[in-house]
Structure 1
Amino acid sequence: MTHVYSLRQRLFFLILTPLLFMAVLLGFWRLTVAQKTAEELFDRSLLSSALAISRDVAISGGDALLPSTSEMIFDASGGQVFYHVTGPGGIYVTGYAYPPTTNVLRATQLSDPIFFEATYRDEAVRVLQITEQVLIEGVAGNAVVTVWQRISDRNRFAAQLALRAVALIGGLLLTLAVVVWFGVERGLRPLVDLQQAIAMRSPDDLSEIKRPVPKEAKGIVDTLNRLFFRVQANMTAHQVFISNAAHQLRNPAAAVQSMAEALRDAPNTDERGRRVEELVIAARASARVAEQLLSMDRLREPMQDGQKEQFDLTVELQKTCAEVGPDVMSRGVEFSLDAPDHPIAISGDRVFIAEAVKNLIHNALKHGGDQLTSISVTLTDIKDAAFITVQDDGKGLSPADSKAALGRFSQVEPSEGSGLGLAIAASVAERHGGALVINKVDRGASLTFSVKL
């Protein structure tokens, strides 16, 4: 099972991750700055020590260093300073016997300090060498002051500076993490309250959510309200459909029951045969209504890709007309089909399209009246659409009657039908990107069923 982080955790990580990245960069930058600061401080400390030693040697004639100078040497910037002084002619004056040396060039001018790194007693050291003119015991010449300090001391000092900065950054980051964690929880409280309010609703309560929420959550609430509205409308339509379906099934069921009772009580064989035929007709009508109701219920759902198939509309229409043709002609009505010779490829529901065409033909038979003598079916295709027109010369149907004729469970004139045939055909057309239209003609009725290719 895939783990899904809570909104609180997502916000926590989204906020702290870039801050943690910036803290790492800041810590690295602060370490670099601390290293540079330590180098500058220690170099200045070496220079101060060298100048102080040079001054004391000149004043005392090389005999002694002042107490302040000695104190500075032993604890300068957190680390001991070593020194070595030679007088005119390179004569040893004071300090440690063997100073670190280097191959770097001497300064071009006196008093110009020379910094370099070397090794003293197997330790890396930072060395400063300065040359000045002095007078020692009446002898004038150049005195060379060499001072040095362990690099490990300055690294330790730099690490302390960096550690303080890192501790400060870590403390701020930890404080921010606590504030964000509990702040996000408090900020999400309106959403939690909304969840609890929705959870307390009954399954039948689909009314609008009117609880005030932050503007960031207003879109979610608006979407929920629209969803509730659609669900409520769908449930209402479903209830109306069930009510109408029950009403439509009641009459055929009652008719079948009445016919069965009449058959049982038939006085003779001839009467029994007549009532058997009436019972068969009533049973067929009842089955027809049930099939139409099931079709209408299925048409309420959008067509899935699995329900689509590629087929030739010309061939399918020929098959459908071949099925209903004998029934039409058995009633003394002429029946014809005019279809193109070329195939018309379509992607859709083969069964529903065939049923829609049958409904149009049955509607012409049922409502054509006594003057009905012919029914014709015509198939044409123009650009990206196909058109099936069913026309008769019967009683007639006007485009002004479209609302009543194409509506569910409604009829232009009372009849034995269920009022679902044309409604199903219209739904099938819409399901395939087309429409069912009542055409204006001088005689009879003409309906065009279109589908998108």
Structure 2
Amino acid sequence: MIAGLIRARSLRTRLFVMILLPLIVVAAASSVVLHWLARDMSRSLYDDTLKVVAHTVAREAVLTKGDLVTDSLLDSLVGALGDPIYYRVHADEGYFLVGHSDAPQPDRDLDLPGGVPVFFDADYHGEPVRAVVLREFISDPDFDGWTTVQVWQTVTQRQALSMTMLAQSATVLMLLLIAAAALVWFGIRRGLAPLTDLRAAMALRHTNDLRPIRRPVPREAEPLVRTINNLFQRLTAELERRNSFISNAAHQLRNPVAAIQAQAEAARDSHALTDRAERLQDLTEATRRLSRMSQQLLRFDAANEGRADRDTPPADLVRLVADVARRHVPAALRARVEIEYDGPDGPLYVQGDPVLIEEAIDNLIDNALRYGCPPDSHLQLRVESRFGMGVLTVADEGPGIPAESSEKVFERFVRLSPVEDGGCGLGLSIVRAIAKGVGGSARILPAERGCTLRFSLPLRAAPQAAAGSGGKDSSRQFADRFM
């Protein structure tokens, strides 16, 4: 139960238990110590009284010349001590004078120095007793010499006194513990009041209110508040990005949807078969553009959400470039563009999701073939390792990109070409988002002719299964099979 309270979700309860639990342990230990002290004090008090009784019995025996102690004196002693008192008096050389002959015997031989009382515990008729032996030298005609007096008493009242003192001490400790618990609970509530006020203030906020927390908090809570503020800042940036993306996407999708609607209505109202066929062809083309734009939007969003995952296997940049380039060979042949590849013979492993990296490579090659490769030109693909990064460089021989637009082309929905070719201005944005998601980069390099774009990803160690494999898609094999 205590472990459950310590693991409780309530910080107030955990603090209360963790503060009060040591106090309970200290109180229990104090009760044990107080019990020992009460027992020792009770024994000391009763032993001193028993020693006085021994002296009294000795004097009474001398005065009465060996007669029994008077009943009145014995009753007074018993009334003062509470337990029955027994005694025995021996003269010098062990001569029995008066008292009880069956006195309790100690467990071992006692050293009895003169004038010094010696105490021991024993049993008398089945009951525990406390006894004292006192030897005194008496100068008297009838008792000339050493006289030994032994007095014993049951310990019931001693134990009762010890328990009474223990109960009183335990009661005081319990009251103190209850008072401490109340004060601790009050102190915790007051101490956690700033956090409670912070919770109440946060509960009153609107769901879209992501302003930083400015309320003063204890020093120990400042790191938590800073972390929450950083989270609010990231959430604000993400919401702004999402809202901007949704707004731009809605704007970009409005025209294709309107075009599809117009083409569909025109095809419906057209009576000539030739005119209807043309309208249906335009409708098919508009649908294709809308489909491509939708796919690009989804891929862009996935690229922005993607993050480096060290648990995923590394991606082979050489193989991915070769696979994507193969798919574009037919389009390159139709456009009379020659694709040239230069890269390592073996694999080059990089960090990132192979699907997203393949999408980035596809966008780079597709953009180059669309906008940077006039007929009878070359498209250069180079894969290499540079400063811990796997690098793909795509160079074309087209009109190039002005220096002032080298960063603008990576923004969403930015298109430098005024020609309607089905593009939506998301290709390079997707490329940069994929690269940044794993700690890489995508940028345009200065070039005398055409456009040169460098796509970089962090290198990864080769997996065990592929460590010894050779260059499966070497530059020579790629050129021999597809050029």
Residue matched to 1:449 = 455
Residue matched to 2:211 = 207
Residue matched to 2:401 = 397
Shifted more, 379-388 versus 287-296: the winner is 379-388
Residue matched to 2:88 = 84
- SS of 2:113's partner is coil
Equivalent-residue separation in structure 1 for 2:287 and 2:203 (angstroms): 48
- SS of 2:395's partner is strand
1:449 Cα deviation from its structure 2 partner: 0.9
Shifted more, 370-379 versus 11-20: the winner is 370-379
Q: 1:233 to 1:113 in 2, by over 3 A?
A: same
Q: Aligned to 1:53, which of 50, 53, 57?
A: 57
Residue matched to 2:474 = none
Q: Aligned to 2:341, which of 320, 333, 337?
A: 337
1:285 Cα deviation from its structure 2 partner: 2.7
1:447 Cα deviation from its structure 2 partner: 0.8
Q: 1:287 to 1:326 in 2, by over 3 A?
A: same
1:422 Cα deviation from its structure 2 partner: 0.8
TM-score normalised to structure 2 length: 0.82
Task: Map residues 117-128 of structure 1 onto 2, 5 A cutoff.
Answer: 117-128=121-132
Task: Map residues 285-434 of structure 1 onto 2, 5 A cutoff.
Answer: 285-303=289-307, 308-346=312-350, 348-368=352-372, 373-382=377-386, 384-397=388-401, 401-411=405-415, 416=420, 417-434=423-440
Contact preservation (8 Å) 1:133, 1:143:
yes
- SS of 2:393's partner is strand
Shifted more, 420-429 versus 184-193: the winner is 184-193
Residue matched to 1:147 = 151
Equivalent-residue separation in structure 1 for 2:225 and 2:387 (angstroms): 44
Shifted more, 401-410 versus 439-448: the winner is 401-410
Equivalent-residue separation in structure 2 for 1:147 and 1:174 (angstroms): 46
1:335 Cα deviation from its structure 2 partner: 1.8
Contact preservation (8 Å) 2:89, 2:149:
yes
Instruction: In structure 2, give the amino acid aligned to 1:379.
Output: V
Contact preservation (8 Å) 1:12, 1:181:
yes
Residue matched to 2:23 = 19
Pairing 1:161–2:162 present: no
1:163-215: per-residue Cα shift (whole Å, max 9, x none)? Answer: 22212111211222233334433443443333333223332333333444444
- SS of 2:355's partner is helix
Equivalent-residue separation in structure 2 for 1:444 and 1:68 (angstroms): 132
Equivalent-residue separation in structure 1 for 2:33 and 2:199 (angstroms): 46
Shifted more, 287-296 versus 106-115: the winner is 106-115
Pairing 1:170–2:174 present: yes
Residue matched to 1:107 = 111
1:436 Cα deviation from its structure 2 partner: 0.8
Equivalent-residue separation in structure 1 for 2:296 and 2:311 (angstroms): 19
1:377 Cα deviation from its structure 2 partner: 1.3
Instruction: In structure 2, give the amino acid aligned to 1:421.
Output: G
Instruction: In structure 1, give the amino acid aligned to 2:248.
Output: N
Equivalent-residue separation in structure 1 for 2:264 and 2:373 (angstroms): 29
1:425 Cα deviation from its structure 2 partner: 0.3
Equivalent-residue separation in structure 1 for 2:441 and 2:145 (angstroms): 116
Q: 1:4 to 1:231 in 2, by over 3 A?
A: same
Contact preservation (8 Å) 2:68, 2:99:
no
Contact preservation (8 Å) 1:388, 1:448:
yes
Contact preservation (8 Å) 2:119, 2:133:
yes
Shifted more, 418-427 versus 93-102: the winner is 93-102
1:356 Cα deviation from its structure 2 partner: 0.7
Contact preservation (8 Å) 1:359, 1:421:
yes
Contact preservation (8 Å) 2:343, 2:383:
yes
Q: How many residues align?
A: 452
1:69-113: per-residue Cα shift (whole Å, max 9, x none)? Answer: 646631455544322222345444343343222364353632232
1:351 Cα deviation from its structure 2 partner: 2.0
Equivalent-residue separation in structure 2 for 1:331 and 1:130 (angstroms): 129
Equivalent-residue separation in structure 2 for 1:446 and 1:366 (angstroms): 14
- State percent identity of aligned pairs: 34
TM-score normalised to structure 1 length: 0.87
- SS of 2:424's partner is coil
1:68 Cα deviation from its structure 2 partner: 9.9
Equivalent-residue separation in structure 1 for 2:278 and 2:334 (angstroms): 20
Equivalent-residue separation in structure 1 for 2:141 and 2:103 (angstroms): 24
Contact preservation (8 Å) 2:16, 2:188:
yes
Shifted more, 397-406 versus 164-173: the winner is 397-406
Q: 1:45 to 1:174 in 2, by over 3 A?
A: same
Q: 1:370 to 1:107 in 2, by over 3 A?
A: closer
Gapped regions of structure 2 (runs ≥ 5): 461-483
Contact preservation (8 Å) 2:397, 2:450:
yes
Contact preservation (8 Å) 1:78, 1:157:
no
- Which structure has more relative contact order (CA 8 Å, sep 6+)? It is 2
Q: 1:308 to 1:135 in 2, by over 3 A?
A: closer
Equivalent-residue separation in structure 1 for 2:71 and 2:403 (angstroms): 120
Equivalent-residue separation in structure 1 for 2:137 and 2:311 (angstroms): 106
- SS of 1:437's partner is strand
Instruction: In structure 1, give the amino acid aligned to 2:122.
Output: A
Q: 1:236 to 1:103 in 2, by over 3 A?
A: closer
Equivalent-residue separation in structure 2 for 1:394 and 1:406 (angstroms): 18
Residue matched to 1:252 = 256
Residue matched to 1:437 = 443
Gapped regions of structure 1 (runs ≥ 5): none
Equivalent-residue separation in structure 1 for 2:96 and 2:132 (angstroms): 17
Instruction: In structure 2, give the amino acid aligned to 1:450.
Output: S
Contact preservation (8 Å) 2:337, 2:373:
no
